[in-house]
Amino acid sequence: MGNILDGNKVRDQILAECRPRVERMRERTGRPPGLAVILVGADPASQVYVRNKTRTAEGLGIYGETITPDASITTEGLLRLVRALNLRPEIDGILVQLPLPAHIDSKEILNAIAPEKDVDGFHPVNAGLLAIGAPGLRPCTPSGVIETLRRNGIPISGQHAVVVGRSNIVGKPMAMLLLEQNATVTICHSRTKDLPAVCRSADILVAAIGRPAAIAAEHIRRGAVVVDVGINSVTDRAMAERLGEAKLAAYDRRGNVLVGDVHPTDMAELASAYTPVPGGVGPLTIAMLMQNTIQAAENRQAAENRPGGL
């Protein structure tokens, strides 16, 4: 059995490091870092995610503000909200909870966030800074993966990392962050030939494809480090039966079970170290969001203190 990479432990370390930074910001400026979250509509899952983010921010002493426009808001109406937040000096970070209603142009909304307040790290400016290795706000989930590996003493430099998935939110930035750490990186996707063979070449295998247990024993070289970024709700008992006794028992208690993109028992048996689902990468996303919010505030303070200010 592989070593479990406990995301809750790493999360707690990061949040503990955030608290004194918040206090220093308050002492220097008279105010804490500020985070504004826009939640459009009443999607239950999004409400839970936002509540967890704001609760964590409040626990650190970060000023949190949740704006909840009705699901009928237009793209232009939401753009006005974002632009107003861009101008507010007490707001250092802006997050638009996804997904947005289908009638809203999500890309236009995300691109309207001021890059220096883009704590999700999705803005093209921040994506470009990542691509050239320049300082900037990094996407939270991939950054959390790097922190998990680093804090568990898992070497990245010189290792072959295979990333399964090429989304702008996880796959692409994950590959760039691994490159930044001097890994040799292969990105796989739906048209990759002989995907299992490519995955088996990995020292570090990162799965981020959004399909439950799609990565199985044939994809994992014994002794590899496996990072499972996926989180999927399985509601079919036949599927749950294929996930092992523990997942099946959880399914029978609740009528559903969470599983990642990697088969849980295959991963546990073959990997030298792995992130479980839940409790692996998930807890790191909010921790890195808090870190980004504080970093954005510190960046703004530094810019204001330079000759000529902002």
Q: Which residues are catalytic?
A: 53, 97, 120
Q: Which amino acid is at 177?
A: L
Q: Judge residue 116's burial from the number of C-beta atoms within 10 Å of its C-beta, 0-12 exposed, 13-18 middle, 19 or more buried.
A: buried
CA distances from 301 to 192, 229, 293, 304 (A): 45, 33, 12, 5
Nearest residue to 291 via CA among 17, 65, 31: 17
